[in-house]
């Protein structure tokens, strides 16, 4: 049996075994730079950061942490279930609780506020940080209000 025949035989024998395994669809890798057209999401863990009744994101969902690096995920080309899977596997363990909702928006809206999106592959290749926040608290709040108004609320039901 030649090397090619052996490889073919091996693939046929073991493909049956592997087909029964749960396969995870390979997620497309994001580019090294964030494009304006990309969709991003901010996971929300507290009810006070969104309104279920009004179906809107509140500005507090976009107030950056003290270090000025707001964790977000790049969600282009992902199905809704995969976006929530990212939350379960990579974000919820850090917060120690379940994501209740998310705020979806575009990178274009972030860039329009003179902020940057810096890819940070830890803990996942789709993770990034929204940076470049002004030091003035009122200015931060105004940006957060604009981002929240533009964001689409998606509940984790």
pTM: 0.81
Rounded distance between C-alpha atoms, residue 33 and residue 39, angstroms: 13
Residue range 53-102, pLDDT digits in tens: 999 999 999 999 999 999 999 999 999 999 999 999 999 999 999 999 99
Answer whether 61's CB lies under 8 Å from 71's CB: no
């Amino acid at each position: 049996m030649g090397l090619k025949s052996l490889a073919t035989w091996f693939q046929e024998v073991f493909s049956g075994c592997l087909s029964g395994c749960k396969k995870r669809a390979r997620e497309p890798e994001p580019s090294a730079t964030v494009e304006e057209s990309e969709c991003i999401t901010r996971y929300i863990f507290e009810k006070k950061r969104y309104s279920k009744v009004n179906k809107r994101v509140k500005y507090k969902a976009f107030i950056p942490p003290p270090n000025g690096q707001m964790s977000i995920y790049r969600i282009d080309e992902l199905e809704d279930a995969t976006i929530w899977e990212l939350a379960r596997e990579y974000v919820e363990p850090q917060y120690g609780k379940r994501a209740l909702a998310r705020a979806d928006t575009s990178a274009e809206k972030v860039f329009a506020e003179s902020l940057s999106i810096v890819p940070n592959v830890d803990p996942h290749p789709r993770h990034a940080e929204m940076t470049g926040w002004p030091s003035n608290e009122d200015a931060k709040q105004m940006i957060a209000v604009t981002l929240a108004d533009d964001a689409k609320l998606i509940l984790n039901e």
